[in-house]
Amino acid sequence: MPYLIDGHNLIGTGLLPGISLSDEDDEAKLVRLLRRFQPRVKTHITVVFDRGLPGGFSSSLSGGGVEVIFAGATGQTADEVIKARIRRARHPEALRVVTNDGDVQNLARRRGCKVIRAHRFARELLRPLSASSAREDVRLSPEEVEEWLALFQKKKGGK
């Protein structure tokens, strides 16, 4: 059951340690948290943010089962992008929509989606892994491998 998440609603809960709407890296921090969560749920996660450059699909942040969309490039809000995706969904009953917006929740319910309030999802996101799921072999995406290689090469080079 794929997730469709309003990213700034989730950050705005104030429940995610070290992630705040006032932080300029809030989106990247949330995406890293979602990437760690994704192997637990074993399904695709799409997170939509209201603003950001360059806008649209973010190839630099997407990966590891998480797709990142910045609504600002389309002239729409995250809510409008999420509603459009709900309307276009072939199997809306298979979607989990994470939002606090009443209009988005109402549309999602009418289309048969499972609606999860951002506060509830934030608690689920932070729940510790069980011992059995912590032992699972988690594979890195090619993008994540490149990110780690770049990080270690910087440290090795003294930068």
pLDDT 10s digits, 52-98: 655 566 655 767 889 988 887 667 899 999 999 999 999 999 999 99
Supply the pTM of this predicted model. 0.77
Total domains present in the chain:
1
Place of tokens 């399904």: 43
Place of tokens 């090619």: 142
Query: Higher pLDDT residue, 9 or 51?
Result: 9
Q: Is it true that the peptide bond before 92 is cis, omega within 30 degrees of 0?
A: no
pLDDT exceeds cutoff 60 at 156: no
CATH number of the domain where residue 152 is located: 3.40.50
Domain that holds residue 101: 3-156
Quote the CA–CA distance of 85 and 75 in Å, as a whole number.
16
Place of tokens 């990142």: 68
* Rounded average pLDDT over 141-158: 68
Quote the CA–CA distance of 151 and 7 in Å, as a whole number.
25
pLDDT exceeds cutoff 50 at 122: yes
Q: Which amino acid is at 144?
A: E
